[in-house]
Amino acid sequence: MNWIFKLCTIALAQCWFVNAHAIPVLMSGDVFDDMQTFLAGRQPEDIERFFGPGMRRDVAEAIILVQAARLGGYSDPIDLISDQNTPEHRTKQITAQSDVVALAQPVWETLDPEFADDLTISAPLLDEGEFIVGIYVNENHPYTQAKPTLEEVKSLTFTVSATWRRDIDVIEHVGWPHSTTVNWVAMLEMLAQNKADAILAPFQPGDEMALVTPNLTLRPVLGYTVSFKGSRHFAISKHHPESEGFKSALDAGLIQLKAEGRLRQIYVEAGFFNDSIFEWTNLVQ
């Protein structure tokens, strides 16, 4: 139980379960909080529909991890641990501590060479070309009401976290003027202060696909999407004693969920896949 106490206090974390025999999976603190809102006392294994307060792609993926592992035959308890550090710190934490088995937020298929000896990846949740996002601006922006011209949409100024390399690559590929900041919260502050026009963000549940934050509501620019190259996977430690069995079960469950169409259904219900945007212009081909 010592390692759980250390992770939950030193890392300023909360644990969804506390079980000395459970395997720990780290997840972002804000995603953990939204997951608690969505679950409302239910267990991840019991979720059948993926819409309601607190639901978003990140929350759905954390629940997918648990459900896929169970479907693949993994029966030991899984501790979902809230971690308030950056994604980069979480990745370093999982490589440095054999106590942590996986990350609940997926990563891209190409691991940083720094972590290649310590991490492996699961079967994909999202295949090449499936990670499609919107251009999100303040809800009162005129481009949320009428589709802008290509020239107009390319004149938007962006803000992005300096650590989000793939986002930066996409923004630079399209040619958008942009500035970097430290994290997601700082990005939202840049928009609220009118220091930038837009961010890239996953499409949200609901007809208006609004991204609602405590101080700001954003909506997608009409008529345009952006796709990211690469596939998305869960990162799994090579050093945890349960890693091999957990990965085997997780992979089997993910493959089955995808084959049954359940994985796609979950992403549709969570708002990430939205049929209404598939005829929009993709700015990255």
Q: Which domains does the chain have, with CATH numbers?
A: 2-127+231-274 (3.40.190.10), 132-227 (3.40.190.10)
pLDDT of residue 20: 54
pLDDT of residue 16: 45
pLDDT of residue 12: 35
Structure tokens at 7: 């992770």
Whether residue 139 contacts residue 219, with contact meaning beta carbons closer than 8 Å, is answered with yes
pLDDT of residue 95: 62
pLDDT of residue 28: 86
Structure tokens at 83: 């971690």
Whether residue 199 contacts residue 219, with contact meaning beta carbons closer than 8 Å, is answered with no
Question: How far apart are the C-alpha atoms of 23 and 34, rounded to whole Å?
Answer: 21
> Which residues share a beta bridge with 269?
none
Whether residue 218 contacts residue 201, with contact meaning beta carbons closer than 8 Å, is answered with yes
Q: Which residues of the chain are modeled with pLDDT < 50?
A: 1-18
